[in-house]
Amino acid sequence: MKTLTNLKLCNKNILVRVDLNVPVVNGLITEKSRIEAIKSTIKKLIYYKNKIFLISHYGRPKGKQNKEYSLNFILKTLKEEFQIDKINFLKNFNETEIKKMISSMEEGQLCLFENIRFWPGEENNDLSFAKEISKNFDAYINDAFSASHRNHASIVGIPNFLPSLAGDNMIDEITNIDTFVNNPKRPNLAIIGGAKISTKINLLYNLIDNFDTIAIGGAMANTFLHANNIDVGNSLCEKDLSEVALSIVEKAKKNNCKIIIPVDVVCADHLTDQVNITHCDIKNIPNNQKVLDIGNKTTQIILNNILQSKMVLWNGPLGTFEYKPFEKSSINIANVIKKNTNKLKISTIAGGGDTISVIKMAKAEGGFSYISKAGGAFLEWLEGNESPGVIALKENTII
């Protein structure tokens, strides 16, 4: 696979696929890790006097122009983060407009294209669309590992027409995640949370083969409780997946992998309930309340396992962390990892947007060996599936 280390690009017109699909609340970017992740690649390209054209998606506009999903808003932040005075903006992928922009730009300057998902050819992986984009460019760099699990034109289509390289962030993600998948240190622990077991079935099956212990929290734990004939009240629960939950537990037994599910929980009438909060054993969940966090006993079991592990993987919060006091278990876990990663020489990796948000809430970023900026791509890689975008780079033979 070609990289910026083994193939220098100087004075070229470069297409760079990045992921600027950042979280925004009331017009403000609340988390910038995906922007920070591409700095290394961008700075190298600037240093070697390339003309750099950034391609990204934002949201789900479904192939239609939609001002709500325009990337124009992010220009100010990009200039601040890259410490440059100017970033050009192209509203379309028209060849004439691209040629004009290339002619007007100075060496080392950047241009951001409008949200590529405004064009149906992106998600349809239309090769004619990819070919049209590729005209007038000398090389393509994919630095968007977090989007590389998609069979989209800007991910797998463009490498059919240009010399294609992996950016620094792409290499960083693959190297660090592969360390956990292919070279596990024992004993090890996977902490898996989130809302639905349906989105993480394959992940759990695959982790059983590589981990000694898996701790399950979040709303997805309710499905495991229901499968064990525990009444979870009004909680979010995928009851139709009870058999799947039991099969996961059965596979774990055969592989000597211990599954930790909650023994106690924190419940309330609704997410914003600050009054009717119940701490209880799983056998005493009120039938009119929702489980919104794991309890203190369960949290302590997980913390004890962290301290006994040489490697810890974390994906998914264990409670509805956006609402107090249901962030408590996730914050406690983040803090214990922060305190002990270096002290006890534990290799720790975390990934997923909500997981990163919890870690930042706890101000524990510095306590992890590695934090992946990818979401779905991180999960698919852990499931044992090499991303289509990575395969496209490996198979690229254009020089």
- The catalytic site residues sit at 34, 196, 353, 376
Half-sphere exposure (CA, 13 Å, Cβ side) for 58?
23
DSSP 198-255: GGSHHHHHHHHTT-SEEEE-STHHHHHHHHTT---TT----GGGHHHHHHHHHHHHHT
Residue 380: CB atoms within 10 A of its CB come to 18
Question: Do residues 316 and 214 lie in contact, with contact meaning Cβ atoms separated by under 8 Å?
Answer: no
DSSP 165-201: EE-HHHHHHHHHHHHHHHS--SSEEEEE-SS-GGGSH
Task: Give the three-class secondary structure for 125.
Answer: coil
Question: Do residues 150 and 389 lie in contact, with contact meaning Cβ atoms separated by under 8 Å?
Answer: yes
- Joined together, the tokens standing for residue 191 give 């902490």
φ, ψ of residue 55 to 5 degrees: the values are -115, 135
Task: Give the three-class secondary structure for 85.
Answer: coil
Among 296, 283, 275, 174, residue whose Cα is nearest residue 228 = 283
Question: Strand 28-29 to strand 24-25: parallel, antiparallel, or no bridges (unpaired)?
Answer: antiparallel
- The rounded distance, in Å, linking the Cα atoms of 92 and 115 is 9
- Amino acid 120 reads P
- The rounded distance, in Å, linking the Cα atoms of 374 and 353 is 8
Residues 6+ away with beta carbon under 8 Å from 175:
none
Cα separation values, 99 from 13, 105, 293, Å: 11, 10, 55
